[in-house]
Amino acid sequence: MSRLILVLGDQLSSDLSALRAAEAGDVVVMAEVRDEASYVPHHPKKIALIFAAMRHFAEELRDAGWYVRYTRYDDAENAGSIPGELLRRAEEVGASEVIVTRPGEWRLIAALEDCPLDIRFKADDRFICSLEEFEAWAEGRKELRLEWFYREMRRKTGLLMEGDSPAGGEWNYDKENRKSAEPDLLRSSPMEFTPDDMTEEVLDLVGREFGENFGTLRPFTFGVTRAQALRALDHFVRHSLDGFGDVQDAMLRDDRFLNHSLLSIYMNIGLLSPMEVCQRAAEAYATGKVAINSAEGFIRQILGWREFVRGIYFREGPEYTRRNRLNHQRGLPALYWGGETKMACLSYAVEQTREDAYAHHIQRLMVTGNFALLIGADPAEVHEWYLSVYADAFEWVEAPNTVGMSQFADGGVVGSKPYVSSGNYIDKMSDYCSGCAYDVKQKTGETACPFNLLYWQFMDRHRERFESNHRMGRIYSTWDRMDGDKRDTIRAEAGRFLDRLSKGEEV
């Protein structure tokens, strides 16, 4: 009897474990469904990316001889959910067994477990570190810290290793990767692609069905096939990787991508493997084409962070997204969904997010994430926002970054201290402040940058929790040395700012 091989929208890899387990006569099932397209209000570009890449992948599977049953979003018989589609297809072909590579989200794993078919999960081995390996590494450690995990991964893979030693002599070149950036008309941009007829059809569908979601659908320039993703990788390694490290943390109004790769969207839906991306970067270093700080900085994000957060997501379990260690309850302000704000940094980051379904790491962490944490936004709402608005957002990678790294809602599992800053950091790393109604140099007063007030108010209100953190002691010494009247003014002005936010006033 034939079996069903389920391929999800972020599992578009020809060497997927479920496909490898198939036998002659098995039927591949792929489905564009309402439940997946609306569990959060995804950015239209994200839905278009996934549907278009799914349709192209299904064509490639058929060309390679697979028997594929593909359901389009507007098919009349569409059951609206993955389990529903499996049941329908199982009846059609007379199958009762389904093979699926374990999904990247607890919600969908639970839905499949509840499905009254015989569901066989295969490990998702498109990662460099298996979940078993991560568990073995994490077991018995008091704290899980990226740096130690990353070194293990370097040793395991041999990436950027010279014998037992790290290439160039250091494991980590982060110190060299904190420069600000100057506008440079010659800086290359990520590769863009023109939609073909199949993608145009998807764009029309998404425009009709999801046009009300936050986010601009056109122009749509993402690649949607493995061949295009490989071209994007090649383009990045040739033109942007060498400059990646230097300006990795910088932000510029008129250069949204700087030297970032935009490769997360391709890796996260399976069009590129993390190992091949790292190998290309290591090869570019070995052949003298890129500097060590760039190759290492880039590889660390993938071999280190990407693998690390995935391990955390599955280790911490389905309740992880509901953690709220700092007990933050504020609703996410309307400005995150495009409401007016006078704060230039937030306005630029949100506008870019709306147009591109993309913002780079420091914009996510130190602008939108920083502000949400400082105002005490409910981490569940913050999580829903990040999961919705970025084209690369899938829970296994988004949740540890948001709930853990950015909002400290997991109490320090991902990061050892909260990522918060005053306006000074944003001013140093960007050109945003020169176009702002607020003055980043003013610590108090009518025009003071809100980050300056909120930063100290955050430290003050969470003193009990953070004072004993050895990485934060100096912050509290600075606060205590401040003139008492100034501290009171900061508390009062930050309080008024938060009141205005609560009333829904423009800030």
Q: Does 103 bind ligand DLZ (CB under 6 A)?
A: yes
Q: Residue type for 353, please?
A: T
Q: Does 58 bind ligand DLZ (CB under 6 A)?
A: no
Q: Does 280 bind ligand FAD (CB under 6 A)?
A: no
Contacts with ligand FAD, 239-278, as mask; x by CB under 6 A: ---------------------xxxxx--xx----------
Q: Does 321 bind ligand FAD (CB under 6 A)?
A: no
Backbone Cα Rg of the chain: 23
Coil/strand/helix, residue 446: coil
The sheet that has 4-6: what strands, in order across it? 68-71, 27-31, 4-6, 97-101, 118-122
**Which of ligand DLZ, ligand SF4, ligand FAD, none binds 455 (CB below 5-8 Å, type-dependent)?**
none
**Which of ligand SF4, ligand DLZ, ligand FAD, none binds 263 (CB below 5-8 Å, type-dependent)?**
ligand FAD
Q: Does 47 bind ligand DLZ (CB under 6 A)?
A: yes
Q: Does 429 bind ligand FAD (CB under 6 A)?
A: no
C-alpha distances out from residue 331 to 3, 334, 383, 456, Å = 46, 9, 12, 21
Contacts with ligand FAD, 337-376, as mask; x by CB under 6 A: -----------------------xx--xx---x-------
Between 393 and 453, name the residue whose CB sits nearer to ligand FAD. Answer: 393
CB 183 within 8 A of CB 255: yes
Instruction: Please give the Cα distance from 407 to 52 (Å, whole number).
Output: 33
Instruction: Give burial (CB, 10 Å; 0-12/13-18/19+) of 240.
Output: buried
Residues 6+ apart with CB under 8 A from 139: none
Q: Does 4 bind ligand FAD (CB under 6 A)?
A: no
Between 52 and 490, name the residue whose CB sits nearer to ligand DLZ. Answer: 52
Between 394 and 432, name the residue whose CB sits nearer to ligand SF4. Answer: 432
Residue closest to 372 by CA, chosen among 463, 498, 186, 484: 498
Between 268 and 353, name the residue whose CB sits nearer to ligand SF4. Answer: 353
Q: Does 37 bind ligand DLZ (CB under 6 A)?
A: yes
Instruction: Please give the Cα distance from 37 to 51 (Å, whole number).
Output: 10
The distance of closest approach from Cβ of residue 358 to ligand SF4 in the complex, given in angstroms and rounded to an integer, is 20
- Which of 9, 369, 376, 450 binds ligand DLZ (CB under 6 A)? It is 9
Instruction: Please give the Cα distance from 259 to 295 (Å, whole number).
Output: 12
- Contacts with ligand DLZ, residue ranges (CB under 6 A): 8-10, 31-33, 36-37, 42, 47, 50, 103-105, 108, 394
